[in-house]
Structure 1
Amino acid sequence: MAAVLEQARSAEVPVGGAFLFNDVGSVRITTPELFTEEQRLYLKTALQFSTEQVLPQAEKIEAKDNALLRDLLRRAGELGLLMIDIPEAYGGLGLDKTTSLLIAEAMSLQGSWSVSFGAHTGIGTLPIVWFGNDAQKQKYLPRLATGELVAAYALTEQGSGSDALGAKTKAVLSPDGKEWILNGSKLYITNAAFADVFVVFAKVDGDKFTGFIVERGTPGFSVGPEEHKMGIRGSSTCPLYFEDARIPRENLLGEVGKGHKIAFNILNYGRLKLGAGVLGGMKLQLRNALLFAQERKQFQTAIVSFPLTREKLARMTTLIHAVESMTYRTSGLVDAVLAGADKTAADYSARLIAAIEEYAIESSIMKVYGSEALGYVADDAVQIHGGAGYIEEYPVERAYRDARINRIFEGTNEINRMLIAGMLLKRTMKGTLPLFEVAQAVDEDVAAGRLPKARVQDELAAEEQAAENLKRLAIYTLKVAAETFGAELEQRQEVLATVADIVMDAYALDSMVTRTRQAAVDGKLDAVRVAMTRQYATEANVQSYARARRALCATVKGDALKEHLAKVARLELFTPYDPVELRETILQAVEKASGYPLSAV
């Protein structure tokens, strides 16, 4: 594929989505093994904070102790954990995005706290960092950096969630031109009960979608009662009401009619951070499930000895490895694009936003894959706990409920699946990605019996070949759908979602193969990493080919369908493996580490 891909590469760093066209391992990726000492220190500090100050307070947090949450934010601010993304000029640290994601990972050990922390440091603060003018930054950021002020983000309304631009809240300029007058309401606003600063979206004159900074205590602005939720019960979630709320004219955020730029760019970064924001919880649930399985006995035997329990623990570990490999690969791409940029330059925020937007495909992958992987891990953890998994005394009961919201946050997983496939096509039309050229080459190669061969002949040669085949499978299936449906393809959600799932498996397997090879010592691959990668590859092959057949069956009929099915069948790769050997290789490492075996600290 490499010869076709020159147009898909930037001068120094692959463009967003290029992983689907570039050879496995052709570009060095960022992995936890490459974290700097400074990054590891921030991770260690944040993990210590979560372990010593948050987890012991889990029951109080669950009981909606908003004063405690606010105090925890202040304490986190004292350690510098709230200021990672805030520029130094405004009281922050202005660190790289990988460090920011490491903090998000560490904060995710307790669901309600993770949501409160993320709403403050991410969607609440970043709109001001990226789009605020100097006066707004000077006024708010130094106090947001320390936790003196708490931030919230108000986008969702009763009739507009995924369709953010369908908002009904209105803003008009007062007759004297000194104030904006807001009318409307917002729904499901995190941190609402105790936030001081709200980023609110409304339509100026009823049609220009615009952002505003609204302070608590503003005349005409009120916060409704707490919602009582299935999960993340301890986080504050309230509606907001605006009844002729009068906002100073200077609290306009960005430009009139440009609110979509704020909302969508914040969501892109939020999706990437959510990938990291599930990792801490996944690792904690693995450790807790392992410890429970070691202590719990049935038939005079610890249940950790039972093969089906061990299979679950091995699957949990493999999913963590997949999410971790993709997450830090993606943050590393953003950091690489920004490497050497002057953070004090006037255009730095614009460059940062552009870098994050560049990897919007990867960010949506992290959002969907990470949230669903967390769900699988929490579900397996409950199953290992058995009846105890349903009892509030055990943290896994709360973790199971808390995990569910992640598939709705930052744009539903359904929306993000549409975005993954849709952005691949959009960038193809712009000439950034060579999807149709590569699809044609795949068609010709398959017809001629030319299948990809591994570039590196080692223990992961079959897995490398499997990753390349998955890429071709996604490219070919999307090309057939695009040629069949044309502009109507965006309405064929069942096809786009299926292609997105194949793309996600390809990104995961590519990342795992590349990471494992990069971590080799004196040319020798680590057996545990190989086992996790192989286990993932065997499952990804089965599910991705089933998805491709489903997508093709929903796209074409008759003889054309038979022809397409025959072609993709030639890409299907099965390499015999010993599932017991893979499981035990992984589990022995998990047992030795008393949890996830590839700790970065």
Structure 2
Amino acid sequence: MFRVARIVIQQQVKCETIPIRSLKMSAVASAQAQVAEKPRAKGATQEDYSFVMNLFRGQIEARQVFPYPNVLNEEQRDTLQMLIDPCEKFFSEVNNPSKNDTIEKVDEPSLNGLWELGAFSLQVPQELGGLGLSNTQYARLVEIVGANDLGVGITLGAHQSIGFKGILLFGTPEQKAKYLPRVCNKEFAAFCLTEPSSGSDAGSIKTRAELSPDGKHFILNGSKIWISNGGMAEIMTVFAQTPVQDPKTGKTVDKVTAFIVERAFGGVTNGPPEKKMGIKCSNTAEVYYDNVKIPIENVLGGVGNGFKVAMNILNNGRFGMAAALSEKIAKMAMLHYVTESMAYMISGNMDSGSQHYHLEAAISKCFASEAAWYVCDEAIQIMGGMGFMKETGLERIMRDLRIFRIFEGTNDILRLFVALTGIQYAGAHLKELQNAFKHPTANLGLIFEEASKRVVRKVGLSSPPSMDQYVHNDLLQAASELAKSIDSFGESIEMVLIKYGKSIVNEQYILNRLANATFDIYSSAVALSRASAALRAGGESAQHERQMAEAWTLEATQRVAANLKIVSSGRNLDNFTKMSSIAKNVFKAEGVVQLNPLKL
């Protein structure tokens, strides 16, 4: 057994840690930023309790999915109910989404009403002027907002989900005491990261901040584009390149730093509101910084740590995207069920203190935005010509929905982020196993535990991991199918690592299909977890939820099998090569390559 195990592992010599940073994408590179925060023993793989992360090793890490989270105590439930009633009344009696869309701003009565409700300070601690809600409470209220007016949702989210979120997460006690009461009292906040030349790559921003000669200020110069609330914000989280001395080499290098910037500092201006396809009532504008003097005490999270600050803000805020896009079209019950289940699964994980949810948050953002678009499109189709008419309201919803697949990390990049982060985790584990063979007597436990799993798979003696202990008895069949998918997925990841090694970063066709398989596995696990909780509680909708979870899991596992077959099929891989060649030809020709059939 030992000799066979060694042979199997030696075949995997190419499975080195994937150089994710080589892609130069902020969403992908955030994985390394988060891993870097945690100390690890030399040569050891950092363990992660993320369900999704462990899928890439073909293992079930159940503690963040089963049982379905129930994190609200009685007092929190009462508080939430007290907020839900006036919130629903506000959107039915005060806010007019059609008017907001027409005038391309949130009208004053609505804006004032939202401030009075405390909607702009849901998660600010009570002692600093906010409502002090948990992530789960926040998700429920965001769900109501998103079901009524997505443009208003963006205005609220840009303010608190990302605008001043960095102060909540990284602010010093002094920074929190100074700024959080103000963002609760009619001073808008904004998150200022994106630039024309940077796109999704946070590391390539050009805005700079240089320390003043007296060492008391940073002088900020540059500009940002597409900033939500950019024309209204008085308090901004701004990211800029700063010179930092590398402690290892002593050389000065540029690193991104986050700053709290006030419009009142002077030198902060903005362009006119952008004309947009959807979410028209939300303010989006360019913001300019001309020799803005920022006190050194307004550095957020430490000099040179801006990339970590930005990624943590975005990862923390993405879970709310799923909550905002559920309940748009109630008829599409299954997609609504799965989307809603993800939103409250992740908010529950966060409220329970989890730090391992960044892949799950990325999945929920992609899943929710794509499900909502699909459901809206289908609703328009069902209504026929009436669905196309403005008075029905669906055309506004469709325009508003389109942006959700783009901002807070485009879905394309988040798919690569999920796939490459998971592959890196699996590859690092295999590398650790390879290193163990260099000193086998000191690592017998690890070698036998991990290598034997792969050996029995090679000789056909393995069985998929079991999920029976996590789900209700009525869902055992669905759970068994999902467990088989997880096992097959882990095997496919090993195959990909062996075949491609580091070059997997260039195989986007494969990465996208692995990401889609990941989405289907995670969404099924979440649905089974929620339905199991409902069956155990014996609620009125329990059997309905069981049917939705079973139906979703069946279709999802079939899609997983199809995607994994594509990844391993020589014919499909050859077709990927053809498609790559086609794309290169189009780029080279700067347009359509072939002539018109008439040759005219």
TM bracket (short chain): 0.7 to 0.9
The residue that corresponds to 1:590 in the other structure is none
CA apart distance, 1:248 = 3.2
Residue 563 of structure 2 is aligned to residue 547 of structure 1: yes
Q: Secondary structure at the match of 1:272?
A: helix
Q: Secondary structure at the match of 1:235?
A: coil
AA at the equivalent of 2:534: A
The residue that corresponds to 1:190 in the other structure is 228
Aligned CA distance change for structure 1 residues 9 and 326 (closer, same or farther; 3 Å): farther
Which of 388, 391, 414 matches 2:389?
Answer: 391
Which of 276, 282, 285 matches 2:329?
Answer: 285
Aligned CA distance change for structure 1 residues 264 and 243 (closer, same or farther; 3 Å): same
Aligned CA distance change for structure 1 residues 402 and 449 (closer, same or farther; 3 Å): farther
CA apart distance, 1:115 = 0.6
CA apart distance, 1:273 = 1.8
Residue 53 of structure 2 is aligned to residue 17 of structure 1: yes
CA distance in 2, matches of 1:125, 1:259: 14
Q: Secondary structure at the match of 1:180?
A: strand
Residue 78 of structure 2 is aligned to residue 63 of structure 1: no
Deviation per CA, 1:487-527: give whole Å up to 9, x if none: 11122222122111111111111121222122125779932
The answer to whether the 8 A contact 1:66-1:194 is kept is no
Aligned CA distance change for structure 1 residues 25 and 151 (closer, same or farther; 3 Å): closer
Deviation per CA, 1:26-51: give whole Å up to 9, x if none: 9633357x754445445545544454
CA distance in 2, matches of 1:88, 1:264: 26
TM-score (norm 1): 0.75
CA distance in 2, matches of 1:256, 1:554: 49
Residue 485 of structure 2 is aligned to residue 470 of structure 1: yes
Percent identity for Structure 1 against Structure 2: 33
Residue 116 of structure 2 is aligned to residue 78 of structure 1: yes
CA distance in 1, matches of 2:235, 2:172: 16
The answer to whether the 8 A contact 2:106-2:152 is kept is no
The answer to whether the 8 A contact 1:424-1:433 is kept is no
CA apart distance, 1:418 = 1.3
TM-score (norm 2): 0.75
CA distance in 1, matches of 2:151, 2:523: 28
Q: CA RMSD in A?
A: 3.3
The answer to whether the 8 A contact 2:50-2:64 is kept is no
The residue that corresponds to 1:96 in the other structure is 134
Which of 554, 559, 565 matches 1:538?
Answer: 554
Aligned CA distance change for structure 1 residues 196 and 27 (closer, same or farther; 3 Å): closer
CA distance in 1, matches of 2:396, 2:215: 50
Deviation per CA, 1:542-575: give whole Å up to 9, x if none: 32222112222379979xxxxxxxxxxxxxxxxx
Residue 134 of structure 2 is aligned to residue 134 of structure 1: no
Which stretches in structure 2 are left out of the alignment for 5+ residues?
1-44, 244-252, 435-448, 575-600
* Map 1:401-412 → 2, pairs under 5 A: 401-412=399-410
The residue that corresponds to 1:575 in the other structure is none
* Map 1:349-428 → 2, pairs under 5 A: 355-356=354-355, 358-428=356-426
AA at the equivalent of 1:465: S
Aligned CA distance change for structure 1 residues 144 and 405 (closer, same or farther; 3 Å): same
Aligned CA distance change for structure 1 residues 30 and 557 (closer, same or farther; 3 Å): closer
The residue that corresponds to 1:169 in the other structure is 207
CA distance in 2, matches of 1:148, 1:318: 39
| 413-422 vs 151-160, which moves further | 413-422
CA apart distance, 1:258 = 1.0
Which of 154, 159, 165 matches 1:115?
Answer: 154
CA apart distance, 1:165 = 1.1
The answer to whether the 8 A contact 2:191-2:227 is kept is yes
CA distance in 2, matches of 1:255, 1:430: 29
Aligned CA distance change for structure 1 residues 486 and 102 (closer, same or farther; 3 Å): same
Residue 532 of structure 2 is aligned to residue 517 of structure 1: yes
The answer to whether the 8 A contact 2:472-2:532 is kept is no
Aligned CA distance change for structure 1 residues 377 and 449 (closer, same or farther; 3 Å): farther
The residue that corresponds to 2:348 in the other structure is 332
AA at the equivalent of 1:363: A
Which of 429, 448, 454 matches 2:460?
Answer: 448
CA apart distance, 1:8 = 9.7
AA at the equivalent of 1:414: D
CA distance in 2, matches of 1:46, 1:408: 31
The residue that corresponds to 1:566 in the other structure is none
AA at the equivalent of 1:391: M
CA apart distance, 1:173 = 2.3
Aligned CA distance change for structure 1 residues 214 and 284 (closer, same or farther; 3 Å): same
Give the number of equivalent residue pairs: 498
The answer to whether the 8 A contact 1:29-1:329 is kept is no
CA distance in 2, matches of 1:88, 1:432: 47
AA at the equivalent of 1:132: G
The answer to whether the 8 A contact 1:198-1:215 is kept is yes
Which stretches in structure 1 are left out of the alignment for 5+ residues?
1-6, 287-312, 339-354, 559-601
CA apart distance, 1:366 = 0.9
CA apart distance, 1:394 = 1.4
Residue 495 of structure 2 is aligned to residue 495 of structure 1: no
Aligned CA distance change for structure 1 residues 136 and 522 (closer, same or farther; 3 Å): closer
Aligned CA distance change for structure 1 residues 554 and 233 (closer, same or farther; 3 Å): farther
CA apart distance, 1:459 = 3.5
Aligned CA distance change for structure 1 residues 26 and 182 (closer, same or farther; 3 Å): closer
CA apart distance, 1:122 = 1.1
Aligned CA distance change for structure 1 residues 451 and 387 (closer, same or farther; 3 Å): farther
Higher relative contact order (CA 8 A, sep 6+): 2
